[in-house]
Structure 1
Amino acid sequence: MSDDPIPGHVDVVLPCLNEAAALPGVLAALPPGYRAIVVDNGSTDGSAEVAAAHGAAVVTEPRTGYGAAVHTGLEHATAAVVCFADADGSLDLGQLPTLVAAVHGGADLAVGRRVPERADVWPWHARAGNRLLAALLRRRGLAVRDIAPLRACPREALLALGVTDRAFGYPLELLIRAQRAGWRVDEFDVVYRARAAGTRSKVSGSLRGTLRAVRDVGRVALR
Structure 2
Amino acid sequence: MNDSTSAPVDVILPCLDEAAALPWVLARIPSGWRAIVVDNGSRDGSAEIAADCGATVVSEPRRGFGSACHAGLSAATAEVVCFCDCDASMNPARLATVVQPLLSDSADLVLARRRPTTWGAWPLHARVGNAVLARMLRHRTGVRLRDLGPMRAARRTELVKLGITDRRSGYPLEMVVRAADDGWRIRETWVPYLPRTGRSKVTGTWRGTWDAVRDMRKVLRT
Q: TM-score, with normalisation over the residues of structure 1?
A: 0.95
Question: Secondary structure of the equivalent of 1:136?
Answer: helix
Contact 1:126 1:203 in 2 (8 A): no
Which residue number corresponds to residue 176 of structure 1? Answer: 177
Which residue number corresponds to residue 157 of structure 2? Answer: 156
How far is 1:222 from its partner? 1.2
Partners of 1:97 and 1:148 lie apart in 2 by: 17
Which residue number corresponds to residue 205 of structure 1? Answer: 204
How far is 1:99 from its partner? 1.5
**Which digits, 9 at most, give the CA deviation of each residue in 1:181-207, with x for residues without a partner?**
1100110011100012xx221111111
Q: TM-score, with normalisation over the residues of structure 2?
A: 0.95
Which residue number corresponds to residue 131 of structure 2? Answer: 131
Instruction: Report percent identity of matched pairs.
Output: 54
Partners of 1:51 and 1:143 lie apart in 2 by: 36
Amino acid at match of 2:116: P
> Which stretch has the larger CA shift, 92-101 or 59-68?
92-101
Which residue number corresponds to residue 188 of structure 2? Answer: 187
Amino acid at match of 2:49: V
Question: Secondary structure of the equivalent of 2:131?
Answer: helix
Which residue number corresponds to residue 48 of structure 1? Answer: 47
Contact 2:137 2:220 in 1 (8 A): no
Amino acid at match of 2:127: R
Mapped pair 1:21 → 2:17: no
Amino acid at match of 2:16: L
Which residue number corresponds to residue 143 of structure 2? Answer: 142
Query: Residues 101 and 128 of structure 1: is their aligned pair in 2 closer, same or farther, counting only changes over 3 Å?
Result: same
How far is 1:217 from its partner? 1.0
Mapped pair 1:111 → 2:111: yes
- Runs of 4+ more than 4 Å apart: none
Unaligned regions of 5+ residues in structure 2, if any? none
How far is 1:7 from its partner? 3.8
**Which digits, 9 at most, give the CA deviation of each residue in 1:158-178, with x for residues without a partner?**
000111000000011111111
Unaligned regions of 5+ residues in structure 1, if any? none
Question: Secondary structure of the equivalent of 1:78?
Answer: coil
How far is 1:6 from its partner? 4.3
Q: How many residues align?
A: 217
Question: Secondary structure of the equivalent of 2:165?
Answer: coil
Contact 2:133 2:213 in 1 (8 A): no
Amino acid at match of 1:101: Q
How far is 1:8 from its partner? 5.2
